[in-house]
Amino acid sequence: MDVRDDTPQAPAHGTAVTDHASPEVYRRLRVITVIATFGGLLFGYDTGVISGALPFMALSAERGGLGLTPLTEGIVASSLVAGAAFGALYGGRLSDRYGRKRAILGLAVLFFIGALGTALAPDLVVMVLFRVLLGLAVGGASATVPVFIAELAPAAHRGRLVTQNELMIVTGQLLAYTSNAVIAKTMGEGGVWRWMLALATIPAVLLWIGMLFVPESPRWLASRGRFDDAARTLGLIRDPEAVEPEFAEIKRRVMADAEEPRASWGDLRTPWVRRLVVFGFALATLTQLTGVNSIMYFAPTILLDTGLGTQAALTATIANGVVAVLAVSTGMWLLGRYGRRPMLLTGQIGVTASLVLIAFCFLVLPESAARSYLVLASMLTFLLFMQGCVATVFWLMLSEIFPLRLRGFAMGMAVFGTWTANFVVTLAFPPLIAAVGGATFLLFAAVNTATIFYYLRTVPETRGRSMEAIEAHFRGRSAA
């Protein structure tokens, strides 16, 4: 599966597609992308907000908290992730059945109900139930939004447009960290976490309203036999001269798939499909085993363990969000100049080195303000490589490697792997850091070292290829 050619490729069967959109068409695509990626913003906010809410939820009920212990902190944080795993698994299939647009509209409703429910939760049980519901929305969005954007985007612009979702995810996390610090500073302790969680209802409403005005994916329309609708939609998001060749390519792929049954587990018996799905699942799982969410979800807890006070830890965590946004923005720029494969490998090496440095600070240096800020600097270096290279390439590659007939099903399986690994890391991290301290980061570093060697052997290059050409390549490679 090692395809190192990163030059733009013509689609299969010799069809020529005009890749570059005019400024007017590109602006239209950007507007659609911004609206759809409010799902990513909610993904980021709802996963990031818990980092600042947990210290206040750990307070006793008399002080406005829920009296959480390290174990129940892990349960609260990981309950969203558990819901997200199943949201991804079934969200992809629902988007295949009912359409990308309708799936995202439904997810916006779940985001609203889940955010409101967690903000009003009277006890741990209700909190966990609504966190699971919120997780279903997060997982569904993570499986559906990148695919929706990838299916709308021309090949030449797909990298920049799809990674807009990753930018919105980290922007949501930055918004969560910033609002957490501001709310904690201005409102005091009692029940302050409820306001942190309630803010997520606002982008949920904006997502629902905005999605009413965007078109359905032309590739999904074609997959349902609605070729006239697909051609009309393609005409809205392509220059006139690009519509006919791209539509012909999409229709040819759909007609070739028409004689095959709908996507199911049985497709895994096909060798090239099985290899592709296993690779996607492994890529998704290993991205989470970097330990990224131990830092994104528990940054204040980590900094508290180094000796910082609560307010100082919350404020310092904002730097994580700022670096993540800057890193993804830089990664989007780099994607236009370098291939997916070299960026992913560079990021993985940087992440591994950063984890070793964090462990060194904990295990070797004495407790002091200097150690606290060295840990923070190491965390920021980790995020620079993680968000700028690994996460940026990961979501983009998952959105483009799977064939149309299997796209929602296979994407759901891969993202299920993402959230399953995320769940394990999130649940285990608080007790683990309490038991072995900084050695936890050495465990992550060991896993990441093995990941580097796996990626060297398996990661393909997909830059510059249409989604249909990528599928044709993997089919042809299997046949050969």
**Residue 376 maps to which CATH number?**
1.20.1250.20
In a domain, 11, yes or no: no
In a domain, 3, yes or no: no
Residue 306 and residue 375 in contact, taking contact as beta carbons nearer than 8 Å:
yes
Q: How many domains does one find in the chain?
A: 2
In a domain, 227, yes or no: no
Q: What is the pLDDT of residue 320?
A: 76
The answer on 273 and 208 residing in a single domain is no
Q: What is the pLDDT of residue 20?
A: 61
The answer on 276 and 418 residing in a single domain is yes
pTM of the model: 0.73
Kindly report, residue by residue over 13-60, the tens digit of the pLDDT. 433 344 566 888 888 888 999 999 998 899 889 888 887 888 888 888
Percent of the chain with pLDDT over 70: 88
Give the DSSP per-residue string, 139-160: HHHHHHHHHHHHHHS-HHHHHH
In a domain, 219, yes or no: no
Listed range (120-129, 163-172, 196-205, 427-436) with the worst mean pLDDT = 427-436
Tell me what the mean pLDDT of segment 411-421 comes to.
83
Q: What is the pLDDT of residue 259?
A: 62
Kindly report, residue by residue over 74-126, the tens digit of the pLDDT. 788 888 888 988 888 888 778 888 999 999 999 999 999 999 999 999 999 99
Q: Which residue has the tokens 């393909």?
A: 460
Report the Cα 276 to chain-centroid distance in Å. 19
In a domain, 454, yes or no: yes
Residue 79 and residue 297 in contact, taking contact as beta carbons nearer than 8 Å:
no
Cα Rg of the chain, angstroms: 22
Q: What is the pLDDT of residue 115?
A: 94
The answer on 321 and 437 residing in a single domain is yes
Q: Which of 408, 34, 32 is nearest to 216 (CA)?
A: 32
In a domain, 428, yes or no: yes
